[in-house]
Amino acid sequence: MRISQVTLYHLRMPLQAHFETSFGRIYARECILLEVHAEGMTGWGECVADRHPGYAYETVGTAWHLYQEFILPALIGKPLVDAADLQARLAHIKGHQMAKAGVEMALWDLLGKASGQSLREMLGGERRRVPVGVSVGLQDTLDELLRVVDGYLARGYRRVKLKIKPGRDLSVVQAVRQRHPDLPLQVDANSAYTLESAAALLPLDDFDLLLIEQPLAEDDLWDHRRLQQRFHTPLCLDESITGPRQARQALEMEACRVINIKQGRVGGLLNARRIHDLCLRQDVPVWCGGMLETGVGRAANLALASLPDFKLPGDISATERYYARDITREVFTLNADSTIDVPDAPGLGVTVDREALEQATVRKAVFPPR
Ligand code: OSB
Ligand code: MG
């Protein structure tokens, strides 16, 4: 597969409702969409880096820079056999996993279209529909939070993740747990605590949570280990797991008992599958995290989550939970059993709605420049 041209689209997609985490509130999601031309075909990829470096150091701006200056020049015109080959060509670039993952996703799409295989088939996933939940942001009041949760339950979601931060942790969980005693429930702190301040979370051990996600800093496996020793509830790492090596070390260190796999954060679908395989061998459950993706990234997440070790529901919600108008023609809907169907068509299995894409685009660049 020889890539001849890439168009980068900086997208700004207004959210149906604001999304607030411990690192801030957003009203619109920004990301980069890649349109990759090779051998008469078009592949699409999504780089999940956000506008602001609150979740991770990568941003739309850093990824744009990496694409223009380093990543695309290293790939264009070169023969690429598969994702491993693409990653080998990018191995001289440190970090920037989300930028690398975005272009790798487009290569998977192209390879699937060339071979007639869906991404699910290429990855080796077997399930045709995957269990999903919904990630609920911080709300201004507990009443508002309960209203929002009730709304999602009414729509059919059977697993809820609550965002928490210091001062808005126990009260949040208590309110939802009291109203929904049997609801599969988990929390995500997005690294808002230190080992010391996380002592405030110890009472959460009595709320029958599925897991507690990323309480401490991204680069702090050791203190996660120390914290895990104080909890019966499994800790789950998100931000800390930036590749297969971090996953192996976190498990060896017993820094967590569950891993949230996001293809962008770990440098692409190939690394995501490697982490999946490692966890499967060690009997550690994984689940598919989300980055408020467009339909392009959502299709990739669904295919990934069809692999057998994705034993917990993913943060992969229906299109309408995120966007009034998505950039794919396919609209993902929630089935009555709180699952979403995995796309079946070759590659990612989605088609981009050019008009919606234009509407969401705030900046565009073609490489090589014309
Ligand atoms: O920590 O899982 C997270 C969204 C953006 C950045 C980080 C996270 C999230 C979510 C939303 O929790 C998950 C989704 O896409 O629905
Ligand atoms: Mg998270």
Helix 244-252 and helix 269-281, axial crossing angle in degrees, nearest 10: 20
Helix axes 269-281, 295-304, angle to 10 degrees: 30
Q: What is the Å distance from ligand 2's center to 259 Cα?
A: 10
Q: Is residue 296 part of a domain?
A: yes
Indicate if 294 and 359 belong to the same structural domain: no
With the most atoms of ligand 1 within 8 angstroms of its CB, the residue from 16, 135, 186, 262 to mutate is 135
Q: Which domain holds residue 20?
A: 3-116+354-367
**Which pLDDT does position 244 carry in this prediction?**
98
Mutate to test the pocket of ligand 1, among 157, 315, 319, 338 (most ligand atoms within 8 A of CB): 315
**Confidence check: pLDDT of 60 > 90:** yes
The pLDDT assigned to 332 comes to 98
Rounded distance, CA 266 to CA 202, Å?
A: 29
What's the 213 CA to ligand 2 centre distance in angstroms? 6
Clarify whether residues 74 and 88 are in a common domain. yes
Query: What's the pLDDT tens digit per position in 206-215?
Result: 999 999 999 9
Residue in the block written with tokens 């070790």 = 309
Say how far apart CA 362 and CA 8 lie, in whole Å: 11
For helices 221-228 and 244-252, give the axis angle rounded to 10 degrees: 40
Position 35 scores a pLDDT of 98
- Kindly state whether residues 142 and 177 are assigned to the same domain: yes
pLDDT of residue 370: 79
What is the C-alpha to C-alpha distance for residues 336 and 333, in angstroms, rounded to an integer? 10
Residue 346 included in any domain: no
87, 196: one domain: no
Q: What is the pLDDT of residues 249-291, one digit of tens each?
A: 999 999 999 999 999 999 999 999 999 999 999 999 999 999 9
| CATH of residue 47 | 3.30.390.10
46 lines ligand 1 (CB under 6 A): no
Tell whether ligand 1 has an atom less than 6 A from the beta carbon of residue 322: no
Q: Select from 206, 208, 200, 195 the least CA-distant residue to 164.
A: 200
The pLDDT-based confidence of 50 (bands split at 50, 70, 90) is: very high
Residues 67 and 108 in one domain: yes
Beta carbons of 169 and 190 less than 8 angstroms apart: no
How many angstroms is it from 77 CA to the middle of ligand 2?
Answer: 37
Do 256 and 306 lie in a common domain? Answer: yes
Q: Is the C-beta atom of 22 inside 6 A of ligand 1?
A: no
The CATH code of the domain that includes 132 is 3.20.20.120
Q: Is 78 a catalytic residue?
A: no
Same-domain pairing of 210 and 183: yes
Ligand having the closest approach to the CA of 133: 1
Point out the ligand 1 atom lying closest to the alpha carbon of residue 289. Answer: 2
pTM above 0.95, yes or no: yes
Are 152 and 111 within one domain?
Answer: no
Same domain, 166 and 292: yes
Q: Is the CB of 290 within 6 Å of ligand 1?
A: yes
pLDDT in tens, 281-328: 999 999 999 999 999 999 999 999 999 999 999 999 999 999 999 999
Residues 183, 265 share a domain: yes
Q: pLDDT tens-digit profile of 174-227?
A: 999 999 999 999 999 999 999 999 999 999 999 999 999 999 999 999 999 999
Q: Which of 161, 262, 311, 364 is catalytic?
A: 262
289 lines ligand 1 (CB under 6 A): yes
Tell me, yes or no, whether 185 lies in a domain: yes
Q: Is residue 349 part of a domain?
A: no
Give residues with Cβ within 8 angstroms of 228, minimum separation 6. Answer: 234, 235, 254, 255, 256, 257
Of all ligands present, the nearest one to the C-alpha of 159 is 1
Same domain, 88 and 140: no
Mean pLDDT of the chain, nearest integer: 98
Q: Which of 122, 125, 69 is nearest to 92 (CA)?
A: 69
For residue 139, give the 3-state DSSP assignment.
coil
* CA nearest neighbour of 132 among 348, 336, 347, 349: 336
**pLDDT of residue 369 exceeding 90:** no
Residue 139 lies in a domain: yes
pLDDT in tens, 152-172: 999 999 999 999 999 999 999
Which ligand is located closest to the Cα atom of residue 135? 1
Total domains in the chain come to 2
Q: How far is the CA of 129 from the centre of ligand 1 (A)?
A: 21
Residue 347 lies in a domain: no
State mean pLDDT over 85-104: 98
Q: Structure tokens of 318? A: 């229906």
Within a domain: residue 348?
A: no
Which entry of 78, 100, 163, 311 is annotated as an active-site residue? 163
Residue 312 Ramachandran class (φ > 0 left, ψ -120 to 50 alpha, else beta): beta
Residue 217 domain flag:
yes
Ligand 2 centroid to Cα of residue 10, in Å, is 23
Domain identity same for 327 and 194: yes
